[in-house]
Amino acid sequence: MNMATTNLPAAPPVRSRNILVSVGFGIAAVLMYFGGLFGVYLRERSQVRSVGGSWIPDKARIELTPPGMIIWTLLISVAVMQWAVYSIKRDDRQHALLAVGTTLAMGAMVLVQHGWQLSQMNLVADEGPTTAATLIYTIVGSYMVAFVIGMIFVALMGFRALAGQYSSRQTDGIVAASLYWYCLVFIYFIIWIAVFIAK
């Protein structure tokens, strides 16, 4: 069959970095999405406060214990996720899978704590909807969606590692999942400070 391409010399195969590059662009997109939300939140908050208004509804309860627990859980999960990367780079698949599983368990804990916190905040029950409630629900809700996507991504990469696709010669999938996970932790750190601590 005539393939009729050019006589240009053939190149040796180059290892593709597709997944790392794509996740890099994905992380940039997620950071810009939350950057947009934080920008709106902080601007609206400052405008309300500049005229002496109360940003968080008076009867809302934003306690620091759940966000504090979430941030500690996430910080520990960073070390655990890095353990997965460390293990896969040394062909220690057993520990890599253990670390991925532990990270997912921590992720489930974070979701439960988020759900509990949202049910306790009383943002709209007594005073009706407010712009603060709208923005907080948008930020936290978007974060939960991004977080679930992250858990699916980590689980998928874990299954691929289980199937033998990732090893010390090819770690891109686990590394990419870990980078996205660190991005999620960073975003929650901003939520923790800008929304829950600064109120």
Partner 1 sequence: MTENQTETGSNAAESASGSLDIGGLAGVFGTSDHKNIGRLYIFFGLSGGLLALILNIFVRFERINIGSVGILDFGSSNQFFQTWSLSRTTLLFFCVLPLLIGLASYIVPLQVGAPSLSFPRAAALAFWAWAIGIMIHVVTVFTDGGLGEPDPISQFAQGMDPDATELSMLSIAMVVFALLLGTVCVLATIISQRPQGMTLFELPLFSWSMLIAGGIWVLALPVWLSNLAVSWVDFQGADALRYGAVENIWDQLSWLWSQPMIFAFAIPVLGIAGDVLPVSLEVPQRKYKVQQIAIGAMGALSFGAFAQPFFNPDVANQAVFVVMGILIVLPILVFLGGLVDTAFRGNLSLSAHLILSVVGVLALLVAAVVSAFHVSGPAVGAVQELNDSWLDGLISWLRDVQGTVLATAVMEHALIASVIGIIAGLYFWAPKIFGYQLNRNVGILSALTLLGGLALSGGSNIINGILDEGDEVYHSSAYEGVWDTNAVEFFNIVGAIGSLLLLAGVGLVILDLTISVILRKGNEENAKDPWGGHTLEWATDSPPPTGNFTDAPVVDNERPLLFPAVTGGDKQ
Which residues are at the interface with partner 1 (CB under 8 A)? 1-14, 16-22, 25-26, 28-30, 32-37, 39-40, 43-44, 124, 129-131, 134-135, 137-138, 141-142
Q: Give Rg (Cα) of the chain.
A: 21
Are the beta carbons of 63 and 181 closer than 8 angstroms? no
Closest contact distance (angstroms) between CB of 154 and partner 1 is 14
Cα 83 to Cα 96: distance, rounded to the nearest angstrom: 7
Cα 148 to Cα 154: distance, rounded to the nearest angstrom: 10
Cα 183 to Cα 99: distance, rounded to the nearest angstrom: 18
Closest contact distance (angstroms) between CB of 24 and partner 1 is 9
Closer by beta carbon to partner 1, 73 or else 131: 131
* Residue at token pair 């921590």: 106
Are the beta carbons of 95 and 103 closer than 8 angstroms? no
Query: 170 has which bridge partners?
Result: 167
Closer by beta carbon to partner 1, 7 or else 50: 7
Q: Which residues have a Cβ under 8 Å from the Cβ of 94 and sit 6 or more positions away?
A: 87
Closest contact distance (angstroms) between CB of 83 and partner 1 is 25
Closer by beta carbon to partner 1, 4 or else 163: 4
Closest contact distance (angstroms) between CB of 167 and partner 1 is 16
Assigned token pair, 134: 């709208």
Closest contact distance (angstroms) between CB of 141 and partner 1 is 7
Closer by beta carbon to partner 1, 153 or else 196: 153
Assigned token pair, 191: 């939520």
Closer by beta carbon to partner 1, 35 or else 115: 35
